[in-house]
């Protein structure tokens, strides 16, 4: 009997997850505990392992889709086994399948991109970046394979606000600068001349 693969619950308060990347495609044979896909949420990024050994018979949910925990996302079994129908969230969703390559055409080499490859960006991260006008290439990701998570963007926003607040301070209030932190100028004076010795008194008559 074919085995269902469902979207796991990634935490007590996490009710949904986004499929960042499928690591297998329909027809691939996998072993138990082999990673099937990468899943991300606002709190965690992780890989989902295969619950059994078998062949990937069907993938219901494409990359970049956010679904509720417990949703059927794939089926693993042996060729010829019955596949559950009508239970996936998007029956019309296209499955990642190998496509025949187009005939090679001679093209000028594309200019090398100077932009950082951001990989998959969750809707929450994209919304924060748009709201605060953030260039995500400047944000260091801490997720799987350097993926940018919500907390990475929030930390970047916090650092930006702290930097702007420090720039707005008067010079004398900035740590380590200003007149309050400079030694007072010491006036230098020439030493007073030594007193001249008095002339000896005349002897008494």
Tens of pLDDT along 60-80?
999 999 999 899 999 999 988
Residue 189 domain flag: no
pTM for this prediction: 0.47
Range(s) of the domain holding residue 136: 123-168
Higher pLDDT, 197 or 36: 36
Residues 129 and 72 in one domain: no
Residue 100 domain flag: no
Q: Which of 77, 93, 110 is the last residue of a domain?
A: 77
> Where residue 147 sits, what CATH number does that domain have?
4.10.320.10
> Where residue 31 sits, what CATH number does that domain have?
2.40.50.100
Order of strands, edge to edge, in the sheet holding 35-40? 45-49, 35-40, 16-22, 66-68
**pLDDT confidence of residue 91:** 40
Q: Is the dihedral of CA 51, 55, 83, 47 positive or negative?
A: positive
Residue 82 domain flag: no
Tokens for 79, please give them.
Answer: 């060729």
Span 78-116, pLDDT tens digits: 988 888 765 544 443 444 444 555 555 545 554 444 445
* Long-range residue pairs from 112-120, CB within 8 A, at least 24 positions apart, any chain: 118/148, 119/20, 119/145, 119/146, 119/147, 120/18, 120/20, 120/21, 120/38, 120/40, 120/63, 120/64, 120/147
Let me know the angle formed at the C-alpha of 156 by 154 and 161, rounded to the nearest 5 degrees: 95
**pLDDT confidence of residue 28:** 95
| Per-residue confidence band for 57, with pLDDT thresholds at 50, 70 and 90 | very high
Span 134-191, pLDDT tens digits: 888 888 887 766 778 888 888 999 988 888 887 776 665 555 555 555 555 556 666 7
Residue 25 domain flag: yes
**pLDDT confidence of residue 161:** 87
Residue 192 domain flag: no
Let me know the angle formed at the C-alpha of 152 by 15 and 130, rounded to the nearest 5 degrees: 85
What is the C-alpha separation between 103 and 6, in angstroms, rounded?
Answer: 38
**pLDDT confidence of residue 147:** 78
**pLDDT confidence of residue 36:** 94
Residue 179 domain flag: no
List the beta bridge partners of residue 75: 4, 58
Alpha helices in the chain (DSSP H): 123-131, 150-167
Average pLDDT in the chain? 76
What is the C-alpha separation between 88 and 60, in angstroms, rounded?
Answer: 5
The number of domains in the chain is: 2
Residues 73 and 129 in one domain: no
């Amino acid at each position: 009997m074919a085995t269902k693969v469902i979207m796991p619950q990634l935490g007590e308060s996490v009710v949904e997850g986004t499929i960042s990347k499928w690591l297998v495609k329909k027809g691939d044979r996998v072993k138990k505990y082999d990673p099937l896909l990468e899943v991300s949420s606002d709190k965690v990024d992780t890989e989902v392992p295969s619950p059994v050994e078998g062949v990937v018979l069907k993938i219901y949910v494409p990359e970049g889709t956010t679904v509720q925990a417990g949703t059927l996302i794939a089926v693993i079994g042996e060729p010829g086994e019955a596949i559950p129908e009508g239970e996936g969230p998007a029956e019309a969703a296209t499955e990642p399948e190998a496509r025949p390559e187009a005939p090679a055409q001679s093209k000028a080499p594309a200019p090398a991109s100077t932009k950082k490859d951001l990989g998959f960006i969750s809707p929450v991260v994209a919304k924060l970046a748009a709201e605060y006008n953030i260039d995500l290439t400047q944000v260091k990701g801490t997720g799987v394979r350097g993926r940018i998570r919500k907390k990475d963007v929030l930390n970047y926003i916090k650092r930006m606000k702290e930097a702007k607040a420090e720039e707005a301070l008067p010079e004398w209030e900035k740590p380590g600068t200003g007149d309050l932190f400079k030694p007072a100028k010491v006036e230098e004076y020439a030493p007073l001349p030594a007193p001249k010795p008095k002339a000896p008194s005349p002897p008494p008559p």
